[in-house]
């Protein structure tokens, strides 16, 4: 499993290496292993950082996603 972040929605997923990396949220090939920064949103409704980043659901997010 590889931790990959989506360059579109920024969420981090554990994706098997052999699989084509499709973001489960966006259904696009926007996942990248090249990401940095980690933002954990536990309560999206009450999270200041989550609101600022436009995050609407709980999860682990990357701050920066490369290609």
Which stretches of the chain bind Zn ion, using CB under 5 A? 6, 8-9, 23, 25-26
Provide, rounded to whole angstroms, the least separation between the CB of residue 48 and Zn ion: 22
Provide, rounded to whole angstroms, the least separation between the CB of residue 39 and Zn ion: 14
Q: How does DSSP classify residue 50?
A: H
Whose Cβ is closer to Zn ion: residue 25's or residue 47's?
A: 25
Give the C-alpha separation, 49 to 33, whole Å: 23
Residues 48, 31 contacting (CB under 8 angstroms): no
Provide, rounded to whole angstroms, the least separation between the CB of residue 50 and Zn ion: 16
């Amino acid at each position: 499993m590889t931790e990959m972040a989506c360059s579109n929605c920024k969420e981090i997923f554990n994706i098997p290496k052999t699989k084509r990396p499709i973001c489960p949220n966006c259904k696009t090939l926007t996942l990248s292993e090249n990401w940095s920064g980690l933002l954990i949103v536990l309560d999206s409704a009450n999270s200041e950082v989550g609101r600022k980043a436009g995050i609407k659901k709980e999860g682990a997010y990357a701050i920066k996603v490369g290609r």
